[in-house]
Structure 1
Amino acid sequence: MVTDVAAPRVRSRGAVLLLVTAIVVVALNQRPAVVAVAPLLGELRADTGLSSALAGLLTALPVLCFGAFAPLAPRLARRIGLETAVAASLVLLAAGIALRLLPPVALLYAGSLVAGAAIAIANVLMPAYVKREFTRPGAVMGAYSASLNVGAAAAAGLTVPIGAALGAEWRVALASWLVLAVAALALWLPVAGVRGTRTTPPEASSWSLLRQPLARQVTAYLGLQSVQFYSFAAWLPTLLADAGVPVREGGLLLAASNVTGALGALLIPAAAGRMAAQRPLVVGVLAAYAVGLGGLLLAPASGTLLWVAVFGVAQGGGFALALTLIVLRSPSPLVAARLGGVAQCLGYLVASTGPVVLGALHDATSGWTWPLVLLIALLAPMVWAGWGAARDAVLDPAGTRTASRED
């Protein structure tokens, strides 16, 4: 259920630990279905004959689904219960990953679509679930956000070695992440359960929140941050390969960026929860983006580990901050789910264009200079959006005004 009035349950320390573990394992599943494609793009394109733009679409499709299906998540949770909706998302994710095993290229895209829809549901509902179940959600949001990065790092660094160890083609390597989805479902069901009462939909539409500048700024910050992450995840191994870095090392460097991202994701939500306004964190994140992207633009084959590590801190901390802002700017779990649905719908629809545009721009210019220049230019509107979203304010649930704690 998603409700404004439900209070956090009283649990023993062991029960809290089990619940946090379940949240972490669910989070681990929310990036591999997307990130695992990037290290395999060369082999995939050689086998299927896909162009750079179509290969970019394969990576972008789940992100497009994150946006398209995000508004359905709060409705699904109200109908069948929040816990049940998360369990259903894990079943869908397993089905989407399994579809990628089948030979037709169309089913490769279909599996990406199903997996993207599944992740969209969990993306929206997990922060709302954390807000409902924990009186101080900052530390748990940090663990959740860090786990997103760990899952992405594992997919980036292990997908190719798993395929090699199994002596299997790229399809089997992609489908190997099915094991993690099944494990998450097996843990979630006994710990969180599928219980939950139905509640009636709120009178105000989720989209009415966008009448408030604060909601629009949170949405814009999430979307622009996600453009950076998914564009980087889709094309970094290829960019580095074109600069002379071996393909296997490119996947490992992508994994390294997600490992450093996990550190930023772990620390920033806890820090954000102790601050009335999170603007210093926004400035720090944007500075790290500028250093990482600038380094890749000027010297992609020199100091590469430093550039991807700094970018990793930026993307991990930036995305964790975006999710935490959804929680902090919302007065209740229900509003957090509504804002999450709207922000992720529009934000991920924008983000889904990133890999495709960068792939097309690379094909048009035969290089990575202009794609990187574009990502750097997008930092300017991200500063504006983050600065507004990080102010000390909360949303009005009716969607008509911003209830600000600032004078």
Structure 2
Amino acid sequence: MTQSPKYIFQSKTQLFLFIAILLMAANLRTPITSVGPLLHSIQEALGLPTSLAGAITSIPLMAFALFAPTAPKLAKTHGIEKVLTSALAVLLFGLLVRPAGEIGLLFIGTLFVGLAISCGNVLLPALIKRDFSNRIGLMTGLYAVVMNSFAALGSGLAIPLAETSLGWRGSLGFWALLALTSLLFWLPVWRGQRNVIKKQVIPKQRSSRMLTSSLAWQVTIFMGLQSGLYYTLITWLPDMLMLKGIGEAEAGVLVSLQQFVLIPFTFLIPLIAARYKSQSFMLVVSAFLFLGGLASLYWGSGPWLFVAVICFGSGGGSAFSLSMMLFTLRTRTSEEAADLSGMAQSIGYLLASTGPMLAGVLHERTGSWMVPWICLVGATLALLVSGALAGRNRFVSPP
């Protein structure tokens, strides 16, 4: 028998917050994935050189890295609900500005989009830790599924929308509707919490001192390496596949398959991981899946390339969802979860933003994918070690 919602949510307020969290998650990747398919049209319309076109996708990653440490500080001062509601307003502004004019507005809007998403990346795990502490696995899995499903949707709908009367500008701006809907949902959440926050006596929080915690660094390294592997493969996997004799269209289908394979793993893995005190085994398995994909990609052909894509999707989905869970499982309070999330995502996305660029430079210098492939293998081995350490049943601060 299906469990009644009244047993899943303690109140209507918590149910409303649950829906709001999923709406926020839907906005965290779609504004980025909807850009890639439109880059050629944007370049032609605005006379944008290739070097600057690539910056449209790298600017949000840099914003994630630079603003992530600030989000927990804002949350401690103003409350998580207010910061997330404000972030949606900023996101809506960025999505409207980005397609509204020439190159300057394009980059200004993109910067605002990155800053807004950074708040959601950091604070959603802390909010789940605070208000859904007994269902961390379920909530992490659901918000990861929604985020990645809408990411795939954003990429898949970009061209069909652009081929209508909307054009590429309308296709980019289309996702402002999602941001507006989410903002309207979050305004009551903020108002409902505002009075509670005012009446609380906020105790002095002991500094979590993340920078001096070896466990925090292990979580950070795992977060950065899995993000770097994901964004590097998303950027260059089509080129690698085409060198294996795969056509451009077929390569695109395989990359899309990787995205869809990722989705069920982002839901199922947190549910399984939440049952255990240690997640080291699962983190190591995710690294081995990456290694299997890299081996199949380099030495294989034909059906083995399909195997490679399946490995990348399952490994990427597992590693991402587990890295999100570590922010809550390795901390004692929502404040610590926000601090660890801020540190790991700041340094992690800074590392991730260099991956695609470094792989491209190495390929250009050597004329081969051998050296980038070796670097990816090395990063995966480091992912394995950091995952084994980060997954142990420990906390970033003493009791």
Indicate the residue corresponding to 1:144 in structure 2: 143
- Per-residue CA shift, 1:38-90, capped at 9, x if unaligned? 22334444555555554333212111111111111112112222111111111
Indicate the residue corresponding to 1:233 in structure 2: 234
Indicate the residue corresponding to 2:347 in structure 1: 346
Deviation (angstroms), 1:29: 0.8
Deviation (angstroms), 1:21: 2.3
CA distance in 1, matches of 2:53, 2:360: 8
Indicate the residue corresponding to 1:170 in structure 2: 168
Task: State which drifts further: 132-141 or 254-263.
Answer: 254-263
Indicate the residue corresponding to 1:293 in structure 2: 294
Give the TM-score normalised by the residue count of structure 1: 0.85
CA distance in 2, matches of 1:42, 1:124: 32
Identify the match of residue 180 of structure 2 among 179, 182, 192: 182
Aligned letter for 1:60? S
Deviation (angstroms), 1:37: 2.2
Gaps in structure 1 of 5+ consecutive residues: 1-9, 397-401
2:230 touches 2:316 (CA, 8 Å); kept in 1? yes
CA distance in 1, matches of 2:249, 2:138: 34
Indicate the residue corresponding to 1:71 in structure 2: 69
CA distance in 2, matches of 1:242, 1:101: 34
- Per-residue CA shift, 1:98-126, capped at 9, x if unaligned? 22213322322222211111011111111
Whether 1:311 and 2:282 are equivalent positions in the alignment is no
State the aligned residue count. 387
Whether 1:378 and 2:379 are equivalent positions in the alignment is yes
1:60 touches 1:354 (CA, 8 Å); kept in 2? no
Aligned letter for 1:76? L
User: How has the CA–CA distance of structure 1 residues 195 and 14 changed in structure 2, closer, same or farther, with 3 Å as cutoff?
Assistant: closer
CA distance in 1, matches of 2:298, 2:45: 30
CA distance in 2, matches of 1:287, 1:132: 33
Secondary structure at the counterpart of residue 352 of structure 1: helix
Aligned letter for 2:154? A
User: How has the CA–CA distance of structure 1 residues 30 and 11 changed in structure 2, closer, same or farther, with 3 Å as cutoff?
Assistant: same
Indicate the residue corresponding to 1:23 in structure 2: 21
CA distance in 1, matches of 2:316, 2:117: 19
Indicate the residue corresponding to 1:265 in structure 2: 266
Task: State which drifts further: 228-237 or 316-325.
Answer: 228-237
Indicate the residue corresponding to 2:152 in structure 1: 153
CA distance in 2, matches of 1:318, 1:72: 25
1:57 touches 1:355 (CA, 8 Å); kept in 2? no
Indicate the residue corresponding to 1:95 in structure 2: 93
CA distance in 1, matches of 2:165, 2:192: 38
Deviation (angstroms), 1:186: 2.1
2:91 touches 2:113 (CA, 8 Å); kept in 1? yes
CA distance in 1, matches of 2:109, 2:97: 5
Deviation (angstroms), 1:306: 3.8
1:149 touches 1:316 (CA, 8 Å); kept in 2? no
Deviation (angstroms), 1:204: 5.1
- Per-residue CA shift, 1:177-208, capped at 9, x if unaligned? 222111221223335646342676955556x2
2:9 touches 2:15 (CA, 8 Å); kept in 1? no
Deviation (angstroms), 1:223: 0.8
Task: State which drifts further: 211-220 or 93-102.
Answer: 93-102
CA distance in 2, matches of 1:331, 1:118: 26
Deviation (angstroms), 1:236: 4.0
Give the TM-score normalised by the residue count of structure 2: 0.87
Task: State which drifts further: 189-198 or 210-219.
Answer: 189-198
Aligned letter for 1:258? Q
Aligned letter for 2:80? L
Secondary structure at the counterpart of residue 319 of structure 1: helix
2:218 touches 2:389 (CA, 8 Å); kept in 1? yes
CA distance in 2, matches of 1:56, 1:111: 15
1:64 touches 1:351 (CA, 8 Å); kept in 2? no
CA distance in 1, matches of 2:92, 2:243: 34
Measured on the aligned residues, the alpha-carbon RMSD in Å equals 2.7
1:60 touches 1:356 (CA, 8 Å); kept in 2? no
Aligned letter for 2:85? A
CA distance in 1, matches of 2:304, 2:155: 20
Deviation (angstroms), 1:273: 1.3
1:138 touches 1:269 (CA, 8 Å); kept in 2? yes
Aligned letter for 2:90? L
Indicate the residue corresponding to 1:322 in structure 2: 323
CA distance in 2, matches of 1:48, 1:241: 29
Q: Percent identity?
A: 34
Aligned letter for 1:138? G
CA distance in 1, matches of 2:297, 2:44: 26
Secondary structure at the counterpart of residue 295 of structure 1: helix
CA distance in 2, matches of 1:20, 1:345: 26
User: How has the CA–CA distance of structure 1 residues 241 and 263 changed in structure 2, closer, same or farther, with 3 Å as cutoff?
Assistant: same
CA distance in 2, matches of 1:213, 1:347: 15
Indicate the residue corresponding to 2:82 in structure 1: 84
Whether 1:55 and 2:56 are equivalent positions in the alignment is no
Secondary structure at the counterpart of residue 395 of structure 1: coil
- Per-residue CA shift, 1:343-378, capped at 9, x if unaligned? 111111111112322333344345544434322221
Task: State which drifts further: 91-100 or 363-372.
Answer: 363-372
2:93 touches 2:109 (CA, 8 Å); kept in 1? yes
Aligned letter for 2:23? V
Deviation (angstroms), 1:233: 3.0
CA distance in 2, matches of 1:271, 1:34: 29
Aligned letter for 1:163? A
2:229 touches 2:376 (CA, 8 Å); kept in 1? yes
Indicate the residue corresponding to 1:121 in structure 2: 119
1:127 touches 1:323 (CA, 8 Å); kept in 2? yes
Indicate the residue corresponding to 1:33 in structure 2: 31
